[in-house]
Amino acid sequence: MMALDGIRVLDLSRDVPGPYCTMLLGDMGADVVIVEEAAPPQGRRARANNPQAPVRDEATAARDPLRRNKRSIRIDLKHPDGHAVFVELARRADVVVEGFRPGVAKRLAIDHAALREVNRRLVYCSLSGYGQHGPLAPLVGHELNYVALAGALSMIGRPGTPPAIPMNLVADLAGGGLMAAFSIVVALLARERTGEGQFIDHAMTDGVLSLLTRIASQRFAGGPLPQPGQHRITGALPHYDVYACKDGKYLAVAPLEPWFHDNLCAAIGEVAVGEDAPPVEREAARARLQARFRERTRDEWFALLRERDACVAPVLDLDEALREPHHVERGMVVEVEHPTLGPIPMVGVATKLAATPGAIRRCGPAPGADTDGVLAELGHDAAAIARLREAVAVA
C-alpha cells in the first residue's frame, strides 16, 4: 500500500513547478495522468534550445524525472470531442493541477467552476507566479522574478555585489511545487471530513513569502533590514561561512551554537569569537579562519572535523553529491529500470514513510503513450478511440 493509492491526478501543467508537484504526489502512489497537447505547439523553439519545450521522444521522456510515475494522454482541449474527454476524466478524478496564466482555464471551459459542476469532490489547484487575483496577477514571470518580488533575492549574496541567483530552488520548487503538493494533500484530507473538494489558488510569490516567515517576523519586531552577507546566517559571522581549502575546494562551516563553536576552535587551534564581538574582531577571526583552512584540503578537514561535533560539511559539486555514500545508502540516488533503455539513474524519494513508503514505479512516458489505455478506462472501445484519433481530438 502507498499513501496516495486510489488518488487520480490530472496534470495540465508544463514548466517545472507543476510537474514537480505532481511528481511528489506520484512518488507517494497517486495515479498521475499528464494531459498534453494533441499536436506539437506551433512556433515553439526546439527542445535543444529550450529545455522547457514539450518532450517529444521516448528516451527524453523516460529520463525526465518530473514525468516519472505518470501516464500521458494527448488531448486537444479546444476540440469539442477532446474537451468532452477531459471532462470525463475530471468527473472521475480527485485532483486537477494547472499552471495556465489567469483566465486561460476559464476560456477553455476547464476551470474549477466548470469542473465542479460534474465533480464536487474535485480538488483543483491553480499554480501560478502571482496568483489568480491581485494587481500583478496577469504578469508573466519566472523564478528570478518571484524571488525578487517576495524580497528573498535582496538577501542572497555578499555585501557590495549583485544578488546571487538561487537557480530555481526557492520559488519553482520549494515555494511552488512542494508547497502546492502540501496544499493538495491538505485539501484531500479536508475532503474526507466535508465530502467536497475545493479550489487552491497557489502563487509562487506567496510560497516564497511563507518561506521568509521567521525573518520577516524579526523585521516586524524592529530588527534590521536583512542585507546580503549581514545576517547571522548569511555570512555576518565568521563561524557561519564557506572557506576555501588547500585544493581550491570549499568547506561549509556552521557551528552557530557556542558549544559547537568551541568544538571547532579547539579542533583547529583557534580562539572562539562570539556573535556579540565587535565587527572588527569578527573580521579578524574570519581572516584567521581563511588562512587556517587553506592549510589542508577540503576532504582532509572534513575527515578531521566530522567526528568533533563542529557542524562542518564539504561543499560537494553535483557529481560528488550523486556519488556520496550517505545519499546512496538513504535511497536518494537510485536506478530505475526502463524496458528498452535499461537502468536510468534518478534522484530518489525524499519522503520516508515507514508504513506506506513512496517509490519510483516507472520512468516517464512519451507523450500520448497511455492515450488508448486511459480512454479504455473511461469506457471507450477501439472504434470510439479510432474516431477520436481520426478527428485529432486525441493523439
How do residues 1-28 score in pLDDT, each as one tens digit? 999 999 999 999 999 999 999 999 999 9
Q: Is 283's pLDDT higher than 60?
A: yes
Q: Which residues are part of the catalytic machinery?
A: 142, 172
CA distance 80 to 108: 10
- For residue 9, CA distances in Å to 252, 306, 357 come to 40, 44, 19
Q: Percent of the chain, pLDDT > 70?
A: 96
Domain ranges in the chain with CATH number 3.30.1540.10: 241-323
Average pLDDT, the chain: 95
Strand partners, 34: 11, 72
Q: pLDDT band for position 41 (50/70/90)?
A: low
Q: pLDDT band for position 42 (50/70/90)?
A: low
Calculate the CA dihedral of residues 216, 221, 225, 229 and round it to 10 degrees: -70
Domain ranges in the chain with CATH number 3.40.50.10540: 8-211+330-390
Q: Taking the model in full, what pTM does it have?
A: 0.94
Q: pLDDT band for position 45 (50/70/90)?
A: very low
Q: pLDDT band for position 39 (50/70/90)?
A: confident
CA distance 144 to 112: 29
Return the pLDDT at 46: 47
Which residue, 375, 380, 379, is CA-closest to 86? Answer: 375
Return the pLDDT at 2: 97
Which residue, 114, 28, 26, is CA-closest to 72? Answer: 26
- For residue 198, CA distances in Å to 30, 138, 181, 184 come to 18, 23, 14, 9
Q: Percent of the chain, pLDDT > 90?
A: 93
Q: pLDDT band for position 43 (50/70/90)?
A: very low
Angle between helix axes 382-390 and 80-92 (nearest 10 degrees) is: 130
> pLDDT, tens digit, for every residue of 219-263?
999 999 999 998 899 889 999 999 999 999 999 999 999 999 999
Q: Is 168's pLDDT higher than 80?
A: yes
Q: pLDDT band for position 57 (50/70/90)?
A: confident
Which residue, 62, 73, 70, is CA-closest to 373? Answer: 73
CATH top-level class for 8-211+330-390?
alpha beta
Region 301-323: mean pLDDT is: 97
Topology annotation, domain 241-323: formyl-coa transferase, domain 3 (3.30.1540)
Return the pLDDT at 53: 59
